[in-house]
Amino acid sequence: MTLLIRHPQFLEAKKQHYRIFENVPNELCINAVCFSKASTEFCRAVQDESTQRDDVSHHTKHILGVAGKYTLLLDRTMPMTPKVIADIQRRRLRDAWDKLAIIANCCQYNIRMDPKHMKEPKSLSTSILAMCILNGEILLNESREDRSSMLEKTMSQFSEEQAFKGFCAPRSQRDLTFNKGCRFVGVEITPIGIKTIGHLWKLDRIIDASSFRLPLPEAKKRPCSVAENEQRRLAYLATELRRLHETTLAMHIERFLNHDHTRPEENFKNEKFSMWYMRIMAEELVAAIEKGKLLRLGRIWNSQRSENPCSAIFIWDSNGTENIDIKGKPYKRNNYRKRDRRPEFAFTASRPLQRGFQQRGTNDLDHHVSLEVKWPSLRDKSPGDDPQLFIKRWLMGLCFFYDFPRADVVFPWPSSFLTVDH
């Protein structure tokens, strides 16, 4: 996109002299991405100054709110939604309720809120929050802040405080773009929390990839492509799983390899979402194996005594954010011994984008979630109760859930949420 900035006629000759603003009469033509990047870098440099006038601080914040480049302003583990809400909330619109549609467009929401059909009394802030939740935005449901302090926050401040900020994009993906699709599926708002659907995994044995009994690589007669190297590593993994008597998971990986044999790059754009997502998770799994990281198996949760075979494998430790839990405490290799018998769980869900589905609009994107979760009320669970889960951290893995239907779970409201009345 190109920005057109009007200038007086007497500057036309000087503009032509620089030869960087194109030839539209009386207009400066500037690439929008370059303008956003330069504006952000300039404003942040000004903000870094130790002494700053109040009016300068006000203007830099305003410019960043209008033209700031999110990839420079946000950490790679963060969602964009709170920043979008904050920027749009600051706008002075003739009709403030137009902010609902603007936020929905920016965040690619396919579920919209129509203020014309709302019952009185209406609350714009509550409507924005409800729209975010219904479209799958992930909230931290274990508040790290005193409940009473949340009463003093605006909607944008609350969103910034409560949004999950521990995403971890695969190396092959753009961080913030990947994070944008990290959303729950089929959400319902209930009195006890956010009800959603997906697969609940009971975490099982931990495997140390550094101890794999891998055969030596064959002599290379020609350069090995990335796809071929990944296939070889996954084949090694399947062999190791068979040695550990995890035949079901080994079979699933072998089936995936048979379907995922070397493909021309031009076919990637036509991949189904499910195969694309499994492929990038497989790439991360291969990288973890090469680095000798810990892996953890998972089986679909079954409340009956008979357990399902393992059919998922997660990257249990890694560099960066994935080895930090929600409270900032590091996971260590020796934290998980057989003597710790408390069940541990992961929750995954996904769905491809749905354009125009059930009159929900045409602006949608692929949804995917992969979280380690706690289920503290497991022992007190009554038959028929939905599992009540609390988020621990993002957890990447390769999951096979053929023939297993998705189940309902609930993520209880954070304690601070129950006191917010904006």
User: In this predicted structure, what is the pLDDT of residue 50?
Assistant: 64
User: In this predicted structure, what is the pLDDT of residue 266?
Assistant: 44
Kindly tell me the sign of the dihedral angle through the C-alpha atoms of 109, 111, 117, 123.
negative
The total of other beta-carbon atoms located within 10 Å of residue 59's CB is: 13
Contact between 246 and 297 (Cβ < 8 Å): yes
Euclidean distance between CA atoms 331 and 393, whole angstroms = 11
For the segment 149-162, the average pLDDT, to the nearest whole number, is: 78
Where b means 16+ CB within 10 Å and e means fewer, 267-304 reads eeeeeebeeebbbbbbbbbbbbbeeebbbbbbbbbeee
Q: Residue 270, CB half-sphere, CA atoms under 13 Å: how many?
A: 5
- In degrees and rounded to multiples of 5, residue 388 shows phi and psi of -105, 110
Euclidean distance between CA atoms 108 and 110, whole angstroms = 6
Model confidence pTM above 0.95:
no
Judge whether residue 176 has pLDDT over 60: yes
Looking at 72-86, 114-128, 165-179, 353-367, which range is the least confident one?
A: 353-367
For the segment 365-394, the average pLDDT, to the nearest whole number, is: 90
* Side chain identity at residue 342, one-letter code: R
For the segment 387-405, the average pLDDT, to the nearest whole number, is: 93
What DSSP element (H or E) covers 81? helix 81-89
Euclidean distance between CA atoms 253 and 257, whole angstroms = 6
Per-residue model confidence as pLDDT tens digits over 103-142: 999 999 999 888 887 767 778 988 999 999 999 999 998 7
Contact between 141 and 63 (Cβ < 8 Å): no
- In degrees and rounded to multiples of 5, residue 275 shows phi and psi of -70, -40
User: In this predicted structure, what is the pLDDT of residue 345?
Assistant: 96
Contact between 73 and 41 (Cβ < 8 Å): no
Per-residue model confidence as pLDDT tens digits over 92-101: 899 999 999 9
Pairing of strands 390-394, 312-315: unpaired
Judge whether residue 77 has pLDDT over 60: yes
Q: Distance of alpha carbon 245 from its chain centroid, rounded?
A: 33
- In degrees and rounded to multiples of 5, residue 410 shows phi and psi of -130, 130
Contact between 233 and 398 (Cβ < 8 Å): no
The CA–CA distances, whole Å, from 25 to 28, 35, 88, 184 equal 8, 20, 32, 49
Per-residue model confidence as pLDDT tens digits over 328-352: 454 444 444 444 568 899 999 999 9
* Side chain identity at residue 7, one-letter code: H
Tokens 């089929």 sit at which residue? 186
Judge whether residue 363 has pLDDT over 60: yes
The total of other beta-carbon atoms located within 10 Å of residue 178's CB is: 18
pLDDT band for position 353 (50/70/90)?
Answer: confident
The pLDDT mean for the chain works out to 83
Per-residue model confidence as pLDDT tens digits over 252-300: 999 998 875 445 444 455 568 888 999 999 999 999 999 999 999 999 9
Q: Which two tokens stand for residue 366?
A: 């692929």
pLDDT band for position 61 (50/70/90)?
Answer: confident
Q: Inter-axis angle of helices 273-290 and 247-259, to 10 degrees?
A: 120
Judge whether residue 314 has pLDDT over 90: yes
Q: Which two tokens stand for residue 384?
A: 């028929």
Q: Which two tokens stand for residue 187?
A: 């959400």
The total of other beta-carbon atoms located within 10 Å of residue 75's CB is: 10
Q: Inter-axis angle of helices 226-243 and 273-290, to 10 degrees?
A: 80
Euclidean distance between CA atoms 137 and 64, whole angstroms = 24
User: In this predicted structure, what is the pLDDT of residue 418?
Assistant: 64
User: In this predicted structure, what is the pLDDT of residue 73?
Assistant: 92
Q: Inter-axis angle of helices 226-243 and 247-259, to 10 degrees?
A: 160
Looking at 143-147, 208-212, 299-303, 361-365, which range is the least confident one?
A: 143-147
Looking at 62-71, 148-157, 206-215, 302-311, which range is the least confident one?
A: 148-157
Task: Name the region of 292 (left: φ>0; alpha: ψ -120 to 50; beta: rest).
Answer: left
Contact between 138 and 402 (Cβ < 8 Å): no
Euclidean distance between CA atoms 313 and 30, whole angstroms = 48
DSSP 116: G
